[in-house]
A and B are shown apart, each in its own frame.
Chain A
Amino acid sequence: MSELFTDFFLLQDPNVRWVLAGTILLGLSAGALGCFAVLRERALVGDAVAHAVLPGVCLAFIFTGDKDPLALLIGSVIFGWISLVVMDFIIRNSKISADTSIGMVLSVFFGLGVVLLTYIQSSGNVNQSGLDAFLFGNAASMLPEDVMLFGFVSLMVLVVIIAMYKELKLVSFDSSYAKVIGYPLKRMEFLIATLLVVTITAGLQAVGVVLMASMLIIPAAAARYWTDSLRVMLFVAAFVGGISAISGSFVSYAAPSMPTGPWMVVSAAFIFTLSFFFAPARGETRKWIKRLNQKQKIRRENILKTLYGLNEADGKEEKVRTLQEIIKKRRMEKKTLKRGLSELEKSGMIEHYRGRPDGFVLTETGRVEARRIVRLHRLWELYLTEKLEIAGDHVHDDAESMEHVITPEIEAQLLKILENPESDPHDEKIPY
């Protein structure tokens, strides 16, 4: 395995060099361009166009009798364009919804392509072998001239994206505004669509029509999890596309029966999954941890409040409180209570006496913290009854959740407008 690895990455095999160069350029440009497709909510259109170029490829082959890459490029660009025009025409001139129109164009054009493909294969043309590779791609069969043409196309797409970054950004974010300040909106839309069509065409041999849209969509979708900046998103998406290209090519090199294109897609999907869960900016794990931390914090604060309440009731601050006592005062599951207590013990808020009775006592820091929580609760209750005129018997539950959220700044404001009150609506003392 490691030998394969070094062989591959030292680029000894000229064939590997070509394939790798072609797929990486494709990954970069599809990733970056895909950001605009995804942000403009045109991902499905990309998929439809990718499928719709198949008849163009087949017709180019029928007319030239050869797999000349330039002819294939022209054929597929033409059909990509036709499909866009047809989709647009249906949406504008009928009551058929956009997704129905996209779905119809995708399947009808693809169906036509498969019909032509079947015709070619039964025609007995010796050159036709490998044409079905356009369905799922066959990167290994790419010739240097293919790579040069399609790589050049990918490169041009990247150049246009960089040169027109400002314009693409504005048109994607707010096309009406772009039009009002005088942007040639129609020409811009035409340009974006053309970039889409040529990128898809450039990916035909490596990835194939069926899967090409995923190289546009998935890297962009993954990149969105890493950043809130369009510029960074473009780089990340291009990077994801490039990495997917390298790993797809490597898998197919290590196991020649494995196809490059589908493995590129699988790699991109893998990166997407990682991003979805673990991206620090917007990933799910971060949200999940945040929620968990919040839950634990609320639990700890509730226990402190309960211990404070027990002390307040009988005035014995030093008394050891047993689990039963705590649960009696505030109903919660024993398991959660124990977990919360051990967290509090670790942070020095309470002490655990393992004697008779076995129980817990607030430390000095714990008492300060407990007072703070009870104070916020009672201040909030007072605020609701006095300033918002909510009946006193209705405010407890509202205050229950707010005490965990109120910041020191808001506390200061509350104290100011309530003029440092002595007691809450239930005549309980507000502890300072």
Chain B
Amino acid sequence: MSESAAKVKGAPPVEVHDLTVSYQNKPVLWDVDFELPEGKLIAVVGPNGAGKSTLIKTIMGLIDPVSGHSLIYGRPLEQMRKKIAYVPQRETVDWNFPVSVFDVVLMGRYAHLSLFKRPKKHDKELAMEALEKVGMAEFADRQISQLSGGQQQRVFLARALAQDAEIYFMDEPFAGVDASTEDHILLLLKELRNHGRTVVVVHHDLQTVSGYFDWVMLLNLRLVALGPMETTFTKENLQKAYGGRLNILSQVIELSRKEDFIREPGHE
């Protein structure tokens, strides 16, 4: 397990430099470069296949980029693992797996436990607290297959909360959940933000972006715009992000794909 290093003073929670990612010669992110501010609720928005999930997965080290790199509080990811929590899409795990709701939430504490160490009473208390926060305490002993979609999402959120991180990456936490879960999740995100945490959320619903978030990143293969909601979430920027693929760039990419020009990413 990686040791946790101190933050570099004044460094942003996330900075990404010249990041290019491709899947089997198909580029999904092209030369993306940005810094994220601390203590904001940030939406990552863009059309299907724009590379939203790929971006956060690459920052978290789940995908190796073709080129470029990212830093967490000014340091390489490996030194800052404990500061990052991840809420993946629900479909990424097998919900028939023989574990209870409490077991899954307790996994959030594993980030702070070294190898071979069993969770302590303190960890269990924090896990239970996280479950209470998402309103699922009474489901603690349930097997996870008995949960509805919204409940599954709450469990994943509770796991991230139990981890008590500084930066939260969430992949479509609002997808396919009921209205009351959506309200509940939003409330928790705002609470995290109010405690100075940085929350980066891949979001699908353009209707709610400006109401839910402080900052927005518009993404479509490349970074279209990033900034505070009022100045960035504009018609013009949306058109740039959603109005068809960028012509010359996509042509060049198409060409390079034919020529087998783009290297495969290194494998995990």
Contact = CB atoms under 8 A, between A and B. Distances in A.
Interface of A: 39, 92, 163-164, 166-167, 169-170, 172-174, 176-186, 224, 227-230, 233
Contacts of B94: 39, 173
A181 B163 contact: yes
A229 B143 CA distance: 8
A22 to B, nearest CB: 28
A172 B78 CA distance: 22
A166 B62 contact: no
B113 A176 contact: no
B60 interface: yes
A66 to B, nearest CB: 39
Given A170-B107, A173-B104, A39 B97 contact: yes
A182 B92 contact: no
A183 B100 contact: no
Nearest to B24: A95
Nearest to A172: B97
B232 to A, nearest CB: 28
Please classify the interface of chain A as helix (H, G, I), strand (E, B), loop, or mixed, using the class held by over half of its residues: helix
A180 B84 contact: yes
B166 to A, nearest CB: 13
A177 B88 contact: yes
Contact of A182 (B97, B100, B111): B111
Given A39-B97, A177-B86, A179-B61, A228 B143 contact: yes
Given A169-B107, A179-B60, A180-B85, 18 more contacts: A39-B97, A39-B98, A166-B116, A167-B110, A173-B94, A173-B99, A177-B86, A177-B107, A180-B60, A180-B84, A180-B86, A181-B84, A181-B163, A183-B110, A224-B98, A229-B98, A230-B98, A230-B99
Nearest to B106: A166
Given A224-B98, A227-B98, A173 B115 contact: no
A229 B2 contact: no
Contacts, number: 85
B193 interface: no
B93 A174 contact: yes
A253 B242 CA distance: 74
B110 A166 contact: yes
Contacts of B92: 174, 176
Contacts of A167: 110, 115
Contact of B97 (A163, A164, A173, A179): A173
Interface residues of B, number: 37
A92 B159 CA distance: 31
B181 to A, nearest CB: 20
The 8 closest A-B pairs by CB, nearest first: A182-B81, A181-B111, A228-B143, A180-B86, A182-B2, A230-B98, A180-B60, A174-B93
Contacts of A92: 267
Contacts of B82: 181-182
A39 B97 CA distance: 7
A173 B110 CA distance: 13
Contacts of A163: 116
A181 B110 contact: yes
Given A173-B104, A176-B86, A177-B86, A164 B115 contact: yes
Contacts of B97: 39, 172-173, 230
Contact of B62 (A180, A186, A233): A180
A176 B115 contact: no
B176 interface: no
A233 B98 contact: yes
Contacts of B81: 180-182
Contacts of A229: 98-100
12 contacts: A167-B110, A169-B99, A173-B99, A173-B107, A176-B92, A178-B110, A180-B60, A181-B111, A186-B268, A228-B143, A228-B145, A230-B97
A28 B3 CA distance: 36
A179 B107 CA distance: 12
A251 B92 CA distance: 45
A359 B227 CA distance: 81
A174 B98 contact: no
A182 B99 contact: no
A182 B107 contact: no
Contacts of B88: 174, 176-177
Interface string B108-147: 0011010111110000000000000000000000010100
A185 B63 CA distance: 13
A166 B119 contact: yes
A179 B61 CA distance: 8
Interface string B60-86: 111000000000000000100110111
A176 B87 CA distance: 10
Contacts of A164: 115-116
B8 interface: no
Contacts of A233: 98
Interface string B249-268: 00000000000000000011
B5 interface: no
Interface in B149-174: 159, 163
Nearest to B86: A180
B187 to A, nearest CB: 23
Contacts of B267: 92
A227 B103 CA distance: 15
B206 interface: no
A167 to B, nearest CB: 6
Contacts of B116: 163-164, 166
A88 to B, nearest CB: 10
A229 B61 CA distance: 31
A320 B129 CA distance: 62
B1 interface: yes
Nearest to A227: B98
A184 B86 CA distance: 17
B63 to A, nearest CB: 10
A184 B110 CA distance: 13
Nearest to A163: B116
A174 B116 CA distance: 18
Contact of B110 (A39, A170, A172, A227): A170
